[in-house]
């Protein structure tokens, strides 16, 4: 079956702009979580969505937001981009229940902010 | 807040040698622990989870609640084990999906 698909794979933005990243989970997975990966901080949890509701949220400013659609696809948005937002943004999907923490990751969206 | 520490950023061993990647966590309850791995040019993927008590690709990991550790071990390293390894923790009712350590890059030399 198809894996987790993230689009776009690469993008370049300038400070102050906004960006929207998309994630299509594995069919049947209703949980989608987002992580920011940087060389200095490693993998940091952004948020998790389940059945169109934000279930958990990490310690990021309000400029970072997300949503989930009825087909479980998810988007995350970063407004008023800052240089420090340059990172690889990973999306992961999972089942609920016993498999909730067995994450299947996408390839990531690499954002560069100039 | 719960924290996961992987003390070694880099670890280099020779093929056939034993390897141990260390993971320590700070959480007093009953967490669920995982090892995720990222091979070169591949996606981050689950290697093993402590509740499964499995051996995957020859790797095992034992949860030591007394020492709050979850070290990953393999008796005979292979070159194809070279990768980035991340230890991760989930706690019941936690606000984060999974908390990851910063990773250890393992290089197995021929």
A21 alpha-carbon distance from chain centroid: 7
Instruction: State mean pLDDT over B63-69.
Output: 89
The confidence score (pLDDT) of residue A1 equals: 65
pLDDT at B76 over 90: yes
- A12 close contact with B: CB closer than 8 A: no
Closest Cα in chain B to A43: B100
The nearest CA of chain B is from the CA of A82 a distance in Å of 23
- A43 close contact with B: CB closer than 8 A: yes
Distance between CA atoms of residues A12 and B43, nearest Å: 22
Mutate one of A89, A100, A101 to test the B interface: name it (highest B CB count within 10 A): A101
- A61 close contact with B: CB closer than 8 A: no
DSSP-based three-state secondary structure for B21: strand
pLDDT at A9 over 70: yes
B84, B42 contact by CB (below 8 A):
no
The confidence score (pLDDT) of residue B101 equals: 95
Give the pLDDT confidence of B7-55 residue by residue, as tens digits: 999 999 999 999 999 999 998 778 889 999 999 999 999 999 988 878 8
Give the pLDDT confidence of A26-82 residue by residue, as tens digits: 999 999 999 999 998 999 999 999 999 998 899 999 999 999 999 999 999 999 999
């Amino acid at each position: 079956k198809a894996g987790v698909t993230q689009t776009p794979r690469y993008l370049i933005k300038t400070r102050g702009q906004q960006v929207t990243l998309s994630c299509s989970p594995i069919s049947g997975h209703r949980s989608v979580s987002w992580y920011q990966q940087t060389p200095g901080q490693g993998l940091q949890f952004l948020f998790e969505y389940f059945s169109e509701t934000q279930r958990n949220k990490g310690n990021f400013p309000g400029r970072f937001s997300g949503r989930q659609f009825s087909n479980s696809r998810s988007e995350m948005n970063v407004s008023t981009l800052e240089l420090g937002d340059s990172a690889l943004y990973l999306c992961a999907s999972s089942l609920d229940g016993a498999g909730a923490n067995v994450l299947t990751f996408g390839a990531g969206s690499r954002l560069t902010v100039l | 807040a719960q924290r996961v520490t992987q003390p070694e950023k880099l670890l280099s061993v020779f093929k056939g040698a034993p390897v141990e990647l260390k993971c320590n966590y700070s959480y007093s309850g009953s967490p669920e622990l995982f090892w995720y791995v990222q091979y070169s040019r591949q996606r981050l993927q689950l290697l093993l989870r402590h509740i499964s008590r499995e051996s995957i690709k020859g790797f095992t990991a034992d949860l030591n609640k007394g020492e709050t550790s979850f070290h990953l071990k393999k008796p005979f390293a292979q070159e194809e084990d070279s990768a980035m390894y991340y230890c991760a923790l989930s706690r019941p009712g936690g606000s984060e999906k999974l908390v990851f350590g910063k990773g250890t890059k393992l290089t197995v030399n021929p």
